[in-house]
Amino acid sequence: MTKLLECKNLCVTIDGRTIIDDISFDVEENDFICIAGENGTGKTTLTNAILGLVPISGGDISFYGISKSDIGFLPQKLKVENNFPASVYEIIMSGFVGKSFLRPFFTKSQKCKADDCLKLLAIEKLKNRSFLELSGGQQQRVLLARAICAAEKLVLLDEPVTGLDAASGAGFYELIKHLNSHHGIAVLMVSHDIERAVGFCSKVLHLGSGKYFFGKSEDYVNTDFFRNYLKAGADKDEH
């Protein structure tokens, strides 16, 4: 497969503290990679480094056939002011901001792509609704549509099911898997819900303290990384 992104011996240091230490992995076309790990292991820092939001202190991040601006990004929560009357369509179209260069208006092809995303994610009827009036699940679909509009071949999702109930979360994973397998969009997704997410992704990048795992999901479920992560979660539930 064609490589889209490669992180080689990547290190990130913030305020004198090493957050990411010598991590190497790559993203290929049609990959669905889940980034897992305990809190504080650098999952969000890694995504921010890929997007150029934090500087790297060592190693390299290389892009092949795409650039940072070609990555569709779905953050944990889009900051929209409570008194800002943004419609669903306006939120989705904002994914094209920065891609129109000197053109003051969106192109016909961009509008067609936005309309296709509305259909694909089954949110056509929400087009003119206020984003703030939507349920959590509906908002996530809108933000995913926005990310797809920004994307060329890769979307980066930061804990996309946070705040959703179990049924909505499972449906959202199914939707992401469909986009990956039927529409050729590579996915790099941060998830705290690895027990469920591992059933959808093709590969896992698990960040730990001073060590990490990167490989196929079927190999990951047989590692101590996975077993210890589940045990830690069970121990928390008991308390």
pLDDT above 90 covers a percentage of the chain that reads 41
Tell me how far apart the alpha carbons of residues 202 and 208 are, in angstroms, rounded to a whole number.
20
**For 102-118, b where at least 16 C-beta lie within 10 A, e where not — what string?**
eeeebeeebeebbeebb
Nearest to 94 by CA among 15, 169, 150, 10: 150
**If you average pLDDT over every residue of the chain, what do you get?**
86
Which SS3 state, helix, strand or coil, does residue 48 take?
helix
pLDDT of the residue at 79? 60
In this prediction, residues 14-18 reach a mean pLDDT of 91
pLDDT of the residue at 168? 77
Contact 20, 10 (CB under 8 A): yes
What band does 190 get if pLDDT is binned at 50, 70 and 90? very high
| Per-residue model confidence as pLDDT tens digits over 35-53 | 999 888 899 999 999 999 9
pTM: 0.85
Tell me how far apart the alpha carbons of residues 45 and 19 are, in angstroms, rounded to a whole number.
7
Least confident stretch, 2-6, 31-35, 69-73: 69-73
DSSP string, 68-137: GGGEEEE-SS----TT---BHHHHHHGGGTTSSTT-SS--HHHHHHHHHHHHHTT-GGGTTSBGGGS-HH
- Enter the tokens of residue 147: 């990310």
Q: Between 171 and 102, where is the model more confident? A: 171
Which CATH fold topology does 1-66+153-239 show?
Rossmann fold (3.40.50)
pLDDT of the residue at 238? 45
Tell me how far apart the alpha carbons of residues 92 and 94 are, in angstroms, rounded to a whole number.
5
pLDDT of the residue at 135? 86
What band does 239 get if pLDDT is binned at 50, 70 and 90? very low
Q: Between 59 and 95, where is the model more confident? A: 59
Contact 189, 160 (CB under 8 A): yes
Long-range own/partner contacts, residues 165-173 (CB < 8 A, 24 or more apart): 168/136, 168/137, 168/140, 169/193, 169/196, 170/196, 171/137, 172/137, 172/140, 172/141, 172/144, 173/197, 173/200
Contact 185, 154 (CB under 8 A): yes
| Per-residue model confidence as pLDDT tens digits over 99-157 | 555 455 788 888 898 998 898 888 999 999 998 888 888 888 888 888 888 887 899 99
Instruction: Say which residues have a Cβ less than 8 Å from residue 168's Cβ, sequence separation at least 6.
Output: 136, 137, 140, 161
Enumerate the CATH 3.40.50.300 domain ranges in the chain, comma separated: 1-66+153-239
| Per-residue model confidence as pLDDT tens digits over 68-105 | 888 999 887 656 555 557 899 999 998 887 655 545 57
